[in-house]
A and B are shown apart, each in its own frame.
Chain A
Amino acid sequence: DGGITQSPKYLFRKEGQNVTLSCEQNLNHDAMYWYRQDPGQGLRLIYYSQIVNDFQKGDIAEGYSVSREKKESFPLTVTSAQKNPTAFYLCASSIWREAPEQYFGPGTRLTVT
């Protein structure tokens, strides 16, 4: 079955540590995205990528970094520079950047204490 996988589902880290969230898709989609969702809020775009080895900042990129070395993979690193990293992180993909339909992974809930 095609889809997007994110791991782990729950992640706990101490303040000051970098942490990398995994996102893999086997849908053969060109575009991939990372969103952050806080309780009771909408989705805010962190980074997106149209093609391998290319990515662009979204609305809230500060304190985050990404890579796109393979079409299938788009990992997100939450660095110690992110002031309030505790949140629900969602990865998504679409056929191309303009596609209105995005497919989402199950999400990773990150708690930093």
Chain B
Amino acid sequence: GQSLEQPSEVTAVEGAIVQINCTYQTSGFYGLSWYQQHDGGAPTFLSYNGLDGLEETGRFSSFLSRSDSYGYLLLQELQMKDSASYFCAAASNNAGNMLTFGGGTRLMVKP
């Protein structure tokens, strides 16, 4: 089967840097996506890693290491509006090319 593990909750202060880790066990894996979801809202796409290494998009960066079955989302210069849940999602050939989502990490940013 497919499974992804993320911490359930992370707390940080405004202006800080936070890293949200994601480990996966996914046969036929070919990439890792990250989504943000505010309470009661729709998930929105943040980034995708199809290759090992770091992808940077403004204050957000995402990293993938296939050899370690591991990725992370890095959020810099945290703002109060970054308080949300963050999901990693693995794309797998063996899952009909569907995305399998992790359980999500709830980030609380404090003043």
Taking Cβ atoms with an 8 Å cutoff, the residues of B that contact A are 4, 8, 31, 33, 40-45, 48, 50, 87, 89, 91, 96-104, 106
The 21 listed contacts between A and B (C-beta, < 8 Å) are A41-B104, A42-B101, A42-B102, A42-B103, A42-B104, A44-B101, A45-B98, A45-B100, A48-B96, A56-B96, A97-B97, A98-B91, A98-B97, A100-B33, A100-B48, A100-B89, A100-B91, A100-B99, A101-B33, A104-B43, A107-B42
Whole-angstrom CA separation of A97 from B93 in the bound complex? 11
B38 CB → nearest A CB, Å: 11
**A82-107 to B contact mask, C-beta < 8 Å, 1/0:** 00000000101000011011111111
A81 within 8 Å of B (CB atoms): no
A58 within 8 Å of B (CB atoms): yes
A60 within 8 Å of B (CB atoms): no
Are A41 and B103 CB-contacts (below 8 A) given A56-B96, A98-B91, A98-B97? yes
Q: Which residues of B contact A106 (CB under 8 A)?
A: 41-42
Whole-angstrom CA separation of A14 from B31 in the bound complex? 41
